[in-house]
């Protein structure tokens, strides 16, 4: 049966709405660099399963879509640690974990799947956008540590993703109490680091201006100081 791939016609693959585990299957099928796809893959020699097993350039890769329980349930988090250790150290498979608050576009695809080309776009923003999305305030202590560790990497390699996540939490603060959302100083520290140490390109400028104007972490004087520098 003829398989239509978007790459064949130089068209970007569009992810309609927020990313889900089931949507990953259609994404993988549309990338002709992926030569093998298996859902609910039984990891060799252990009782664990993974969401997907794919092969790219004869490289075996385990792909996990991490929903809210991977940040809220300590038992799930500990199981994930065990699985990761076995996959990386005993099997020497590649391992990609995609959290529910990060969407797939060409930048994040390249970040997750190093070296694998794919022109992909999304109409959905990074962060906690859906009204049913579980916010970091609901994460367990290990889950919040995992969350901030991931954002450290995102901030370094994909800063626009970091700031979109930050923006989504500020939006929630405007709808609910800050304690319900829990936006701690981790985000403010990263923002100030970016302002002090990076050239702000046009893609990020508008996003950072919005954050400074709407975040309650900044005093009026600090807000005016940073806006005068940026604008």
pLDDT of residue 178: 61
Residue predicted with more confidence, 198 or 167: 167
DSSP letters of 81-121? HHHHHIIIIIS--EEEEEETT----HHHHHHHSTT----EE
Question: Residue range 87-99: average pLDDT?
Answer: 92
Report how far apart the first and last C-alpha atoms of the chain are (Å, whole number): 55
**DSSP for residue 66:** E
For 15-24, 100-109, 154-163, 167-176, which range has the lowest pLDDT when averaged over its residues? 167-176
φ, ψ dihedrals at 51, nearest 5°? -65, -45
pTM over 0.75: yes
| Other residues' Cβ atoms within 10 Å of the Cβ of residue 93 | 17
Give the span between the Cα atoms of 6 and 225, in whole angstroms.
47
| Contact between residue 188 and residue 150 where contact means Cβ atoms under 8 Å apart | no
Q: Which run of H or of E encompasses 7?
A: none
Measured CA to CA in angstroms, residue 219 lies from 22, 59, 110 at distances of 44, 51, 37
Q: In which residue are the tokens 């302002």 written?
A: 195
Own/partner pairs, 199-202, CB within 8 angstroms, 24+ separation: 200/230
Give the span between the Cα atoms of 219 and 216, in whole angstroms.
7
Residue 1, pLDDT above cutoff 50: no
Residue 4, pLDDT above cutoff 80: no
> Residue 215, Cα to own-chain centre: how many angstroms?
22
Q: Which run of H or of E encompasses 230?
A: helix 220-230
Residue 10, pLDDT above cutoff 70: no
Residue 60, pLDDT above cutoff 90: yes
Measured CA to CA in angstroms, residue 197 lies from 149, 193, 194 at distances of 20, 6, 5
pLDDT of residue 90: 87
Tokens linked to 160: 């626009």
Query: Beta partners for 36?
Result: 55
Q: Which run of H or of E encompasses 17?
A: none
Torsion of CA 142, 71, 74, 97, to 10 degrees: -100
Q: What is the CATH number of domain 1-124?
A: 3.40.1350
Domain boundaries, the chain: 1-124, 127-231
Residue 85, pLDDT above cutoff 70: yes
Proportion of the chain above pLDDT 70, given as a percent? 93
Mean pLDDT rounded to a whole number for the chain = 89
For residue 181, name the pLDDT band (cuts at 50, 70, 90): low
């Amino acid at each position: 049966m003829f398989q239509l791939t978007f790459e064949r016609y130089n068209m970007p693959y569009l992810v309609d709405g927020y990313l889900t585990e089931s949507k990953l299957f259609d994404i993988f099928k549309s990338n002709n660099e992926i030569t093998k796809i298996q859902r609910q893959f039984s990891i060799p020699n252990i009782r664990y399963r993974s969401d997907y097993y794919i092969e790219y350039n004869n490289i075996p890769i385990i792909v996990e879509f991490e929903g809210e329980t991977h940040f809220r349930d300590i038992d799930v988090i500990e199981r994930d640690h065990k699985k990761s250790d076995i996959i990386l150290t005993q099997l020497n498979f590649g391992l990609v974990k995609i959290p529910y608050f990060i969407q797939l576009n060409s930048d994040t695809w390249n970040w997750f799947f190093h070296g694998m080309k794919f022109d992909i776009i999304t109409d959905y923003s990074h962060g906690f956008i859906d009204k049913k999305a579980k916010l970091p305030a609901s994460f367990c202590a290990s889950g919040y540590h995992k969350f901030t560790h991931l954002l450290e990497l995102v901030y370094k390699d994909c800063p626009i993703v970091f700031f979109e996540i930050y923006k989504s939490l500020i939006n929630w603060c405007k709808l609910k109490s800050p304690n319900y959302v829990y936006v701690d100083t981790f985000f403010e520290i990263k923002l100030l680091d970016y302002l002090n140490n990076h050239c702000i390109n046009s893609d990020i400028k508008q996003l950072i201006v919005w954050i400074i104007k709407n975040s309650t972490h900044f005093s009026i004087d600090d807000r005016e100081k940073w806006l005068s520098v940026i604008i």
